[in-house]
Structure 1
Amino acid sequence: MVRIIDFCFRLLKVAIAALLAGMVVLVFGNVVLRYAFNTGITYSEELSRMFFVWLTFLGAVVAMREHGHLGVDSLLRRLPPTAAKVAVLAGQALMLWATWLMISGSWTQTVINLHVSAPATGISMGVFYGAGLAFGVPALLLILADMIGVITGRIDVTTAEFVKDSEDEVALEHQPEPSLATPSVKH
């Protein structure tokens, strides 16, 4: 099951990269066409906006799974274990509520706008508002999984990292370890 979930999140990362590449091509291509040839791609702005919204929401799902969102957990680290567990569960309950609001609002907007076409592309505006659902449903499941892990004791709140304290911490995690075999060169 874990392998299937990992594969799905790899597919999400590929989709995010494809959306970003599509945005770059559409926007850059439109700029070149406007300045060089005094013409443009009619649907470029609309499609790149849809790509950006989907990229943002899908990226938020990936970041949520990796606990990559920035936050401050200094209070949590100072609390006794039982109080820390209660605080984490309270925070996750609030996140569940906010995610439910996102899902219900996105669902309502998707249904309302399902038969409304975007002006330039003709794509259903339900696709635009469906990005909230694409974020909300997996986010709800991820939050529930974390809550179950905390309740069952599988996740120890005193050692688990639910957020990153700073951007520096996130950047350091993605840097390769220095190799002892490679000597440093001094100039």
Structure 2
Amino acid sequence: MKTGLKDKSIKIMEFIMAVLMAEMAILVFLNVVLRYAFHSGISGTEEIARLSFIWLSFIGAVAVMFTGGHLGVDILLRKLSPKPRLLVGFFGRLLMGGALGLLVWGSWQQIVVNQGITSMGAIPYPLTWNYAAGLFAGVGGIIWVLGDLMRLLKGDMKCLEFGAVEDEGELAVALASVQPPVLSENPGHQEK
């Protein structure tokens, strides 16, 4: 995916996530205030918040994929020479693509099965909206995997690096700053 399109896609997803988060916070806060202060409430806020949270989670997963922020374990990859690293990375991306393909297939099957069925809550909405979030995440993830596979085919292994900690020096400094708790001399005595 071209950088300009990728950056615009990430910005759009971040904006949608911010709107969903604000909407959830406002609805839930307003409902809590109404219930405790006025012994009433807005019916349907739970359903709206639940649907918003589903979409927030799946949009967030795709946005984090595009930015390279998901957790990963690269201990094996760091030990390998470039050629095996490329092969292992390529095979790993193929496995990820397969898992995302299963997500797309399963979400699509649920959309087909639940076509025309509405939720039984205070606000009836099509149940397919829940499963459409999984379809979105699966397709977005497959696009990301295909981009990585194309980079790996060109020999660019930068996509196999994780961006959370740039080098071991940063990690060593971060770990050194964490102080272990001081244990009491007397195991039965607890300090207050």
Report the TM-score range of the alignment, normalised by the length of the smaller protein: 0.7 to 0.9
Confirm or deny: 8 A CA contact 1:72 1:165 kept in the other structure: no
Structure 1, unpaired ranges of 5+: 173-187
Distance 2:65 2:99 in 1: 14
Confirm or deny: 8 A CA contact 2:58 2:137 kept in the other structure: yes
Q: C-alpha displacement at 1:160, in angstroms? A: 4.6
Match of 1:19 in 2: 20
Match of 2:6 in 1: 5
Distance 2:165 2:149 in 1: 21
Confirm or deny: 8 A CA contact 1:76 1:87 kept in the other structure: yes
Q: C-alpha displacement at 1:5, in angstroms? A: 3.3
| Rg comparison, structure with higher value | 2
Match of 1:147 in 2: 149
Distance 2:55 2:65 in 1: 15
Q: Which amino acid aligns with 2:153?
A: I
C-alpha spacing 1:117/1:31, structure 2 compared with 1 (3 Å): same
**Which of 133, 136, 150 is matched with 2:135 structurally?**
133
Match of 1:96 in 2: 97
**Which of 119, 123, 126 is matched with 1:124 structurally?**
126
Confirm or deny: 8 A CA contact 1:34 1:40 kept in the other structure: yes
Confirm or deny: 8 A CA contact 1:12 1:58 kept in the other structure: yes
Q: Which amino acid aligns with 1:140?
A: I
Confirm or deny: 8 A CA contact 2:117 2:127 kept in the other structure: yes
Confirm or deny: 8 A CA contact 1:72 1:163 kept in the other structure: no
Q: Which amino acid aligns with 2:131?
A: Y
State the Cα RMSD in Å: 2.1
